[in-house]
Amino acid sequence: MSEYFLCLILFCTGLYCILRKRNIIKIIVGLAIIEYSVNLFLILIGYRFKGRAPIFALGQEIPNMVDPLPQAVVLTTIVIGLAVIVVAVALSVRIYSKYKTFDITKIRRLRG
């Protein structure tokens, strides 16, 4: 049970970073944290108590195995998350060269 609470705390930390931090690098870190918390949650869903990896061998029976599907899903979401972070970091580099600041409250040319 405590794992789920830790996962929730991680999620809230990420959300706090995105909503409250002014530095855009910290916002991107918050995004990474929130993505990892959801990945962790997916892994927890697939876990069975004292479960084993679902790898079959000849003449062997595994009575209690973890669900492999969430693990496959998490591998994909990690790659997607990486792509998003790369885009965000590349954008922040270009933003810095245009605005000379990482402060999100000063990056405000669009209005209305």
Q: Could you list the residues that contact other proteins (CB under 8 A)?
A: 18, 24, 27, 31, 34-35, 38, 41-42, 45, 69-70, 73, 76-77, 80, 83-84, 87-88, 91-92, 94-95, 98-99, 107-110, 112
What is the CB-side half-sphere exposure of residue 107 using CA atoms within 13 A? Answer: 16
Burial (CB < 10 A; 0-12, 13-18, 19+), residue 104, is middle
Q: Name the 3-class secondary structure at 65.
A: strand
Query: Which CB sits closer to other proteins, 9 or 87?
Result: 87
- Least separation in angstroms between CB 107 and other proteins: 5
